[in-house]
A and B are shown apart, each in its own frame.
Chain A
């Protein structure tokens, strides 16, 4: 059981097992571990717990949206009488739930969970390093993440409720406790939690960058790195450059809230009195927030695209098409993501010419994105597709990336944005392109590298059921939302009953909620499959998917330092699948080029 896994709280029973294998103490092996593989598992388990919380939240507000004002035992079961009197969700708590659902999903699941899990697991294993550049900082990164998760969950229990100004926490709503109860202690905890989260993301990101640049094994040129590593690398750079800006935005907001400064506040008359604040601008916060916020979309998305590139190539038994173009598009997306933030702010009264510039840069991003889609399609073309659950999720990602990417072109057009800004169309767009794509990438990663993480196999049949139910539910939930949005229905509304003009589309809300429940139930299959397989799944072989990359040359049982002997040397690029003239349909990176064999460079 030495390799069994393990959140700090889930393994009391295995403590003594651990002692047999290593001289390491229980604490240094499972809790304050500096081993990247263990830290990766810690990130994953924490993210799974956070995701469960966020999904339950979404179910509660979906019930309210489908059947407004009706009583649900489900709501009062989780929220109690205070926030769901007689089972009817309280309007303030509704805003609290959408806020924390968004925060958890974007930051704790799709940033911390996705990068934290897979950058940690795969960077050392795939570049051929014994561990991260700094195991200690890596450990700190996890524990900061853990602490911020605990604070975020704790904020649900404070008197006025959690932060409820939306996950973007725009001031003045987030700055003035008089304007909404959630802007009291709940908001303070939100900001403190995010500040600690940012510290975690920065510590992790610096480690990833340094490890990729300095600790590659002999022969692992940058142009021989798997696309996963390229994606994680660029993601880490984006995080390092953008998260500090969010930190400063959060600090200024904390000062406005508690020290009487006026960075974001001016000429406000609230709750019957004029405030002293003058001279600031709420729009400044939006600039700072979205300077992180837009790269954040790609911090979430790029790792998923990297993972699926790897999974699709492996399971198509075919090299990824256009390796260099894929790297180029990752770099282009990364660069462009820094100069598009204003497309979230077309209607804030900013100069229309500035808006035009952001329209231009934003639509430029569609080009590298299109290249990625076409390259995926060509990789599938004439492949020999092994339908592993990971492969299904990867193909699913391409489908959501197409559907969500196309609606992005509408939203990026400032003129069209006028009438769909902040409607359900936006909700549909970003859930499909960012939420679903990223979570599909994460699932693909979990199914694919589960054998590497836990030395066990997950159940394939349950994986199929999980994928197809999730895939159908994803479109069932988010596709109709486009129509709700095009009817003009705003997001973050507690109910639509006061607006006869939306009567035609409100029954779509029922459909959406039914699919949401189906989707949530499908995740129970996953949770069961995951935890059951961790403990009782069949033992994995060393290279179950017949992959070429270095992680499949390490032993199944985790050892500190990854390789028992010397670190292997790399001789070729990572995508020699079905290369003509080879007996097997894959050639690992460690196999030297034959005499006269040409190396493919994509």
Chain B
């Protein structure tokens, strides 16, 4: 009923406009005016409006700068971030100048040269010299921009130093997990087929392989017993056989992995990537020591995510099937930043910046930057805690927002997440 009423109002409104236009049209017909004859009054009005617009446009720009300039990101909290901000400001200076010159010319000409019957336009078809100038001058400015830009880019993307702290950031729908190396200082190898409840990152160790193989065998046995002890429709039987085949394939590949691991360890001993996983620290907290270079190793379990830490001016995509890296040196601790921002609750935030699903908008983890001593204490504590993960049945954890509002609605699979996410928004 309301929809009908809305439609009715719309139709009436359109009819009203139609009648107004009709009246206008009839009067202009009476005056003998044709639509294509733009009257001197109209030309003047639009000319004035161009100038008015220019003023309003610039005023809007300055108002935004004034009202929101201080609400942009605060001072960069990383070494390269400071360089990036300087580069950005340098670019802004050039661009603002160009912006104001070209816009002023545009709106000035648009207003000044509005049609007058007593004037003839200046027939001016080309001027090679002028055109050369405005090809070469932008090229020169761009060369400067390119040179400065690429120099900064090279510094940021160059290899991390060998003694940088290695920290893995692992993304999945819809949360982040961090992994720190154990005493050996090296992160162990991983394989996505080993992922389960207590090994959310799929770290390769003899134990994790054995455990995963046992799990698969148990799964297979369960399906097998279902097949033998229940009466099932044909479709279901086929499905269960397919599942068993898949388990066999997976188990086969894990066995291959085990062989590879054993060979690698036999050849390389302690240099093998497979011996370093056992003492890795997997944790849903993200701490970094102040003024120490860290090399972030970024991975994803399912879809593409992007690890974005705005205050650090750091960002890199998390791509399933590959490891991407980003190195940085935090220069401001969380505590100092709280003082600067005059905000006790301030946190550096790691957030997801590549569309990844329903709860993309709330995939975040706070980053704590602290002095080496505090960090070391936290790390020692973290090493004692075994990883606490939700049981594997509830694979993708519900979005953090959902947890406080509706923690009972933990979904059984990812397709149920939307319901939870919606629920989170309702008080």
Contacts and interface: CB of A to CB of B under 8 A. Distances in A.
A173 B156 CA distance: 29
Interface string B171-196: 01100000000000000000011010
Interface in B101-160: 102-103, 105-107, 109-110, 113-116, 119-127, 130-131, 134-135, 138-139, 142, 145-146, 149-150, 152-154, 156-158
Contact of B304 (A178, A271, A282, A360): A282
Given A349-B317, A578-B120, A77 B6 contact: yes
Chain A interface size, as a band, is 35 or more
Contacts of B71: 483, 487, 504-505
Given A173-B356, A457-B34, A498 B122 contact: no
Interface stretch (B42-50, B228-236, B261-269, B279-287): B42-50
Sorted from nearest, which 6 A-B pairs have the closest CB atoms? A504-B71, A488-B310, A266-B321, A349-B324, A272-B395, A352-B157
Given A318-B123, A419-B315, A498-B364, 14 more contacts: A95-B357, A179-B303, A316-B113, A316-B121, A321-B126, A355-B157, A371-B134, A371-B138, A377-B106, A381-B113, A384-B116, A384-B120, A406-B98, A457-B34
Interface string A315-353: 011110111110000000000000000000001110010
A457 B125 CA distance: 31
B53 interface: yes
B258 interface: no
Contacts of A398: 106
B315 A366 contact: no
A409 B91 CA distance: 8
A526 interface: no
B246 to A, nearest CB: 7
Interface string B314-325: 111101111011
A248 interface: no
Interface stretch (A143-151, A164-172, A204-212, A227-235): A164-172
A318 B121 contact: yes
Contacts of A347: 306, 315-317
Contact of B418 (A90, A282, A316, A528): A90
B75 to A, nearest CB: 13
Contacts of B316: 347, 349
Nearest to B36: A544
Given A349-B324, A377-B109, A419 B310 contact: yes
A479 to B, nearest CB: 7
Contacts of B396: 271-272
B126 A392 contact: no
Contact of B113 (A265, A383, A419): A383
Contact of A416 (B47, B84, B102, B110): B84
Chain B interface main SS type: helix
B157 A498 contact: no
B384 interface: no
B393 interface: yes
A471 interface: yes
A585 interface: yes
A371 B17 CA distance: 43
Contacts of A364: 142
Interface in B14-70: 14, 17-18, 21, 24-25, 29, 34-36, 38, 42-43, 45-47, 49-50, 53, 56-57, 60-61, 64, 68, 70
Interface in A390-446: 392, 395, 398-399, 402-403, 406-407, 409-410, 413-416, 418-419, 421-423
Interface residues of B, number: 135
A380 B38 contact: no
B3 interface: yes
Interface of B: 2-3, 6, 14, 17-18, 21, 24-25, 29, 34-36, 38, 42-43, 45-47, 49-50, 53, 56-57, 60-61, 64, 68, 70-73, 81, 84, 87-88, 91, 95, 98-99, 102-103, 105-107, 109-110, 113-116, 119-127, 130-131, 134-135, 138-139, 142, 145-146, 149-150, 152-154, 156-158, 172-173, 192-193, 195, 202, 246, 249-250, 301-304, 306, 308, 310-311, 313-317, 319-322, 324-325, 345-346, 349, 351-362, 364, 392-393, 395-396, 400-401, 413-415, 418, 421-422, 425-426
A402 B103 contact: yes
Contact of B25 (A178, A317, A538, A601): A538
A283 B319 contact: yes
Given A172-B304, A421-B315, A381 B99 contact: no
A264 to B, nearest CB: 9
A280 interface: yes
A430 to B, nearest CB: 16
Contacts of B45: 387, 464
